[in-house]
Structure 1
Amino acid sequence: MGTSDRQMIEGRDITSRMDVDAIACAPDTVSIARGACPSLSAPMITGDGLLVRLRPTTPGLTIRQFRALAEAADRHGNGLIEITARGNLQLRGMTAQSVGGLAADIERAGIDPESGVTIEIPPLNGLDPLEIADARELATRLRQQIAALDPQPALAPKLTIIIETGGRLNLDAISADIRLRATRTPDGSTIWVLAIGGTAETAKVLASLSAEQSIPAIIGLLKTLARIGPRARGRNLDLDSLRTEFQSPDVGALCITEQHVSPIGIHVLGGDRLALGLRPCFGQIHAKDILSFLAVSEAAGATEIRTAPEHAILVLGLDALSAEDIRLAAAGCGFRTNANDPLNHIDVCSGAGACASAFYATKSVATDLAGTAPELLDGSLTIHLSGCRKGCARPDAAALTIVGAPMGYGIVVNGSASSAPVAYIGKDELKSALTQMSRLVRNNKVAGESAEECLTRLGTNAIVTALRQG
């Protein structure tokens, strides 16, 4: 393979860290396209090898299955396991030669990764007594009908459907191309609210439907997206024509959002059932730490591990006493166990060294951030550390985003990593800039005001001034 044929990401040559000849031998197994979803059949090239993302078809994994997954990640990759913001599993550091062995080990463990259109449901579905309906049953029927389509629609790789049924841990803050939400009517019956393009707060509501109407309606939307083109997303759909087609009444009142509950902590599910929520530090943990944690958890009675949004896992099968013991043990295995931990409010991508596109070591900055800018980490806002403009760790807007750039950092306020920065700072200026922003909040916050409220009141100009002073 010549230099001109080498795989490039964002203009940066990644072949210096990869076995180029091995990749050339298996071109169909590797994904390099921006916007693609890495999987067992099409892993993605990153700075530390090949990346595989998977979401099991089952609600969770048994302790035995999760142990097998961790052992496979260590055997065939670099042992790093990530839980994404949407609750997907990611395994890092594979090579073109080792991916086949990883796939075989995953199959032997009885883990069946989802394929096709992504359909996300609440992590405690089927266990939470506060749920209005069964999302998994509806999701299964929807997958079957999508799989039966002939021809199969050509859809965007990251197109996502969310089926929300209420309960403690909702998916309101996660964006989707198509949203379906169970809602109780005044007479106690259940309707399903169909919306497109956004979070629960920003999605555009189309109609209220019965369960029987919901699946054909979603199939129709998928066919429409396919006609628009293979990169079309929910935001590309024509809202007015769809509302006319559905003959919807006043749909504005149907947009409902629930109070956010952190997945981290102990969630009582009725009777003696509970779920213990934990978060690997910055969403990443090594297989050896996972294996140590699983051994302690299994001895305490844990039976199942589910992943959850916000880079979390949920441990099931524990009683109240053992859950407290396991929470203490988890802290020594690399987990964050407190929902109010300031580091939970930093979204971090893999960063330089792990990702070929990243311009800085995001995790190193995140570790320093608590000491550098404590006033910004009161839990009222999220700081997004993104190694580049792709924003993999957080596609949506954050109050403050620090984006890696060739000569330093771009600072984005109330936007995503791809938004236009309000200011640029040099490579050696980040620590002083964050210190100055933290001082801005400390000196201007009034009694009872959060950091987010303070920065919102002061406005972007004040933030830019503080950054320049830093």
Structure 2
Amino acid sequence: MAQADRQLIEERDISSREGVDAVACVADAPSMARGACPSLGAPMITGDGLLVRLRPMTPGLTIGQFRALAEAADRHGNGLIEITARGNLQLRGMTAESMTGLAADIDRAGIVPETGVTIEIPPHSGLDPLEIADGRELATRLRQQIAALDPQPVLAPKLTIIIDSGGRLNLDAISADIRLRARRTADGSTTWVLAIGGTAQTAKVLASLSAEQFIPAVIGLLKTLARLGPRARGRDLDADRLRMELQSPEISALGIADKYVSPVGIHPIGDGLALGLRPSFGQIHASDVLRFLAIAEAAGATEIRTAPEHAILVLGLYVQAAREAQLAAAVCGFRTEADDPLNHIDVCSGAGACASAFYATKSAAAELLDTAPELLDSSLTVHLSGCRKGCARPVAAGLTIVGAPMGYGIVVNGSASSEPVAYIGKDKLKSALMHMSRLVRNNKVAGESAEECLTRLGTDAIVTALRQG
């Protein structure tokens, strides 16, 4: 693409985003502001109606509660249920008139949405024999301490605390403002590594603390963030100064993340199994959920927990029942195998469902499957984002295709908000994907993955392939 065309796209994209911000600044509803979280009390206006996001206070929902949630989504919205990248539930298509009924049905089901500061724990917490500590109890204590603060700190709407107690399904790849990671010391005791602003690999480590020390330390960080202002995040904290204040005798770096395990598949937990499922593109209709729940309940399922990477975990199953439920889930629209190529495509709602999106992301995902199989060997995550907000995947991906007013921005090893290495026109996506797939096919050496191949070839080779497309 010519430099003039690229500059024009960039200028229009900036203008478009500034226009959105201008609208957001004068809107009355908090959920219209950039960075706000849609909730039952403040749903977000999108292209297909109102959007509600909720995270239950309990680690999971009973089958009856999840059924009630699906029925409410169908009764009061368009029936679409989404699991976000962080494992939150989203219901779509409500109207101002239907919100009261939705809230009443959720309350009647005994589902209590989490409010205040978001505290995330691993989906297997309290069940996984491999976890070092019980994150549920510590999260409850921390919530109580935060709720007791007077005055309450005014914090950024999306500020997140992670309490990762280890185990099979960890939260190493999820970004957080404040993160605590349980570690076993040489003498067999448990220590908590406190870090700020990032994933397990990128966060800045502050201290190694006992369970009794970490809650006061986190409260102190929240008070500091409140003093910095309502937009302050973990990355804005002064790590060097905080290390001196905490005076930790030993700083255990988080370093390299633990071995990755996909939430999709069948996982051993205690004396039973957990069936991990992922809705295709993170979205499924309530009618398909209800159909699956009837089968899962008959097989012995007792609880549904959401998990990162747009997944859910079905608990209470044993070997044969888990296999049968897995087969039924595939028929109902879930992805059931960890190596399914669709698990490595993160897709937002796209144009039509979201007012901010510039293209139909799900149609683009179908083109990706058809035209670029070499990119989908499970080594590379492809993020199809309708705009630069990157809702479907807040962290970096190997390849991100970002919607722009006149086409697409291509980001390599970055997030949707990163600077694209190239821009392509609206009618060039299919050919660009084909050329990138061919680039991998023609240059990959024996034993090399798609991600390793693209990393070795570098940005210049990718840009050349895109220009050929």
Q: In the aligned structure 1, how far is the partner of 2:154 from the partner of 2:110?
A: 29
Q: In the aligned structure 2, how far is the partner of 1:401 from the partner of 1:68?
A: 36
Q: What's 1:162 paired with?
A: 162
- Kindly report which structure 2 residues correspond to 1:349-368, keeping only aligned pairs within 5 A, or say none: 349-368=348-367
Q: How many pairs were matched up?
A: 451
Cα deviations by residue, 1:251-303 (Å, 9 ceiling, x for unpaired):
254545210100000001133x1100000000000000000001111111111
| Partner-residue secondary structure (3-state), 2:368 | helix
Q: In the aligned structure 2, how far is the partner of 1:47 from the partner of 1:254?
A: 41
Unpaired segments ≥5 residues, structure 2: 1-15
- Kindly report which structure 2 residues correspond to 1:232-243, keeping only aligned pairs within 5 A, or say none: 232-243=232-243
Equivalent position amino acid for 2:126 in 1: G
Residue 405 (structure 2) pairs with residue 406 (structure 1): yes
TM-score (norm 1): 0.94
Cα deviations by residue, 1:398-440 (Å, 9 ceiling, x for unpaired):
1111000000000011111111111110000000000000000
Unpaired segments ≥5 residues, structure 1: 1-7, 16-23
Q: What's 1:4 paired with?
A: none
Q: Report how far residue 368 of structure 1 moved.
A: 2.0
Cα deviations by residue, 1:186-238 (Å, 9 ceiling, x for unpaired):
00000111000000011010001110110000000000000001000000000
Residue 173 (structure 2) pairs with residue 173 (structure 1): yes
Asked if the contact 2:205–2:253 (Cα under 8 Å) also holds between the matched residues in 1, the reply is no
Asked if the contact 1:349–1:385 (Cα under 8 Å) also holds between the matched residues in 2, the reply is yes
Q: Report how far residue 370 of structure 1 moved.
A: 1.2
Q: What's 2:444 paired with?
A: 445
Q: In the aligned structure 2, how far is the partner of 1:331 from the partner of 1:384?
A: 23
Residue 62 (structure 2) pairs with residue 62 (structure 1): yes
| Partner-residue secondary structure (3-state), 1:352 | coil
Asked if the contact 1:73–1:92 (Cα under 8 Å) also holds between the matched residues in 2, the reply is yes
Q: Report how far residue 250 of structure 1 moved.
A: 5.3
Asked if the contact 1:129–1:167 (Cα under 8 Å) also holds between the matched residues in 2, the reply is yes
Asked if the contact 1:9–1:356 (Cα under 8 Å) also holds between the matched residues in 2, the reply is no
TM-score (norm 2): 0.94
Asked if the contact 2:200–2:254 (Cα under 8 Å) also holds between the matched residues in 1, the reply is no
Asked if the contact 1:127–1:269 (Cα under 8 Å) also holds between the matched residues in 2, the reply is yes
Cα deviations by residue, 1:126-165 (Å, 9 ceiling, x for unpaired):
1000010010100000000100111110100000000001
Q: In the aligned structure 1, how far is the partner of 2:206 from the partner of 2:94?
A: 43
Equivalent position amino acid for 1:329 in 2: A
- Kindly report which structure 2 residues correspond to 1:133-148, keeping only aligned pairs within 5 A, or say none: 133-148=133-148
Q: In the aligned structure 2, how far is the partner of 1:358 from the partner of 1:101?
A: 29
Equivalent position amino acid for 1:190 in 2: T
Equivalent position amino acid for 2:113 in 1: P
- Kindly report which structure 2 residues correspond to 1:331-346, keeping only aligned pairs within 5 A, or say none: 331-346=330-345
Asked if the contact 1:87–1:311 (Cα under 8 Å) also holds between the matched residues in 2, the reply is yes
Residue 232 (structure 2) pairs with residue 224 (structure 1): no
Q: What's 1:465 paired with?
A: 464
Q: In the aligned structure 1, how far is the partner of 2:465 from the partner of 2:376?
A: 17
RMSD: 1.6
Asked if the contact 1:79–1:91 (Cα under 8 Å) also holds between the matched residues in 2, the reply is yes
Cα deviations by residue, 1:31-88 (Å, 9 ceiling, x for unpaired):
2111000000111111101100000011111111000000000010000000001000
Tell me the percent identity: 82
Equivalent position amino acid for 1:454 in 2: C
- Kindly report which structure 2 residues correspond to 1:123-272, keeping only aligned pairs within 5 A, or say none: 123-249=123-249, 251=251, 253-255=253-255, 257-271=257-271
Q: What's 1:278 paired with?
A: 277
Q: What's 2:385 paired with?
A: 386
| Partner-residue secondary structure (3-state), 1:31 | helix
- Kindly report which structure 2 residues correspond to 1:35-114, keeping only aligned pairs within 5 A, or say none: 35-114=35-114
- Kindly report which structure 2 residues correspond to 1:315-330, keeping only aligned pairs within 5 A, or say none: 315-330=314-329
Q: In the aligned structure 2, how far is the partner of 1:368 from the partner of 1:320?
A: 36
Q: In the aligned structure 1, how far is the partner of 2:28 from the partner of 2:420?
A: 37
Asked if the contact 1:347–1:393 (Cα under 8 Å) also holds between the matched residues in 2, the reply is yes
Cα deviations by residue, 1:157-185 (Å, 9 ceiling, x for unpaired):
00000000110000000000000111100
| Partner-residue secondary structure (3-state), 1:168 | coil
Q: In the aligned structure 2, how far is the partner of 1:78 from the partner of 1:143?
A: 34
Q: In the aligned structure 2, how far is the partner of 1:256 from the partner of 1:352?
A: 37
Asked if the contact 1:121–1:164 (Cα under 8 Å) also holds between the matched residues in 2, the reply is yes
Q: In the aligned structure 2, how far is the partner of 1:229 from the partner of 1:462?
A: 43
Runs of 4+ aligned residues of structure 1 deviating over 4 Å after TM superposition are 27-30
| Partner-residue secondary structure (3-state), 2:31 | coil
